[in-house]
Amino acid sequence: MKEHGRNRSEPVDGLLLLNKPAGLTSNQALQRVKRLLNAKKAGHTGSLDPAATGMLPLCFGEATKVCAYLLNADKTYRVTARLGIATDTGDADGVEVERADVPDMSKEQWSAALQKFLGESMQIPPMYSALKKNGIRLYEMARKGETIERDPRPFRVYGIDLLEIAGTRLVFRVSCSKGTYIRVLVEDLARANGTVAHTANLHREIVGDFQEKDMLELSTMEAAAAEGVAVLRQHLLAPDVALACLSAVTVTMEEGQRFASGQANSLALQGESGLVRVYSPDKDFLGVGELSNVGQLAPRRVFLSRGKNS
């Protein structure tokens, strides 16, 4: 077995898609993988509650610059709701606060009830959330028994499908925008149908263009690291794969040098506008630029090129 060299952190660039296990906070999971990689800089996107499982994109080195774009990405979850029991946190980790009878509804009726949440709606964020009020996170207030007024926030549901209904267990898949609180969605669904509920299990399947099949188990990462840090680093995804939704623009060597130094370029492109991925003639990823409809390309995020991690 090869030595990890855990005390010698190094510049490591790329992403790993962790299937976060239950029982770890998102930051605990990040720190464990960061140590396995001996990486200097790391961040994650889209926190999952400790009880939740599923896709947690972990970003290292230059890839931390794509965190903001992944935070804005749409997401898909597999949700298991327990009908008839409400908890103070909205999930299975909370304390029971209310019970109610569960209506005798068919699978077709529950499916129709879910479809009413399609499109844009408003949600009141839960007290047990990471939002801040006057610099204090709401969950810190909630743990002290405090409750404050929260303003409703918009969210959008793109698709929602019933997978299973068995007794008080309701399972569905939902694709939604950033900022959607699944626990609140479950509570609102129950309330609209004359009962209460909490989220018994939450598994995130998709973030942006990243699919469930691309995730790695923590045990898989640990096994790879046990063979040597280079083995684990072979699983790293290039930073620009997180930006596949953006159009790609190739610039000349001279234009690329100006882009890398923070200068704008005038390109022979007309009519296109918005954020784009910028590449050199050798297909090296240079960063994210903003293109105006008259061909002006301004740097927004410049990426260093350090070659392949080893």
Q: Which residues are catalytic?
A: 49
| 106's tokens | 């068919």
* Gap between the Cα atoms of 43 and 68, Å rounded: 11
Cα-Cα-Cα-Cα dihedral sign, residues 158, 163, 164, 169: negative
Burial 43-71 (b: 16+ CB within 10 A, else e): bbbbbbbbbbbbbbbbbbbbbbbbbebbb
Convert 85-118 into a string of H (helix), E (strand) and C (coil).
EEECCCECCCCEEEECCCCCCCHHHHHHHHHCCC
Tokens 């009878």 belong to: 101
Is 249 in contact with 265 (CB distance < 8 Å)?
Answer: no
Phi, psi for residue 224 in degrees, rounded to 5: -65, -45
Q: Where are the alpha helices (DSSP H) in the chain?
A: 26-37, 67-71, 107-115, 138-143, 182-192, 218-226, 229-233, 253-260
Phi, psi for residue 97 in degrees, rounded to 5: -125, -15
Phi, psi for residue 287 in degrees, rounded to 5: 145, -165
* Gap between the Cα atoms of 137 and 29, Å rounded: 21
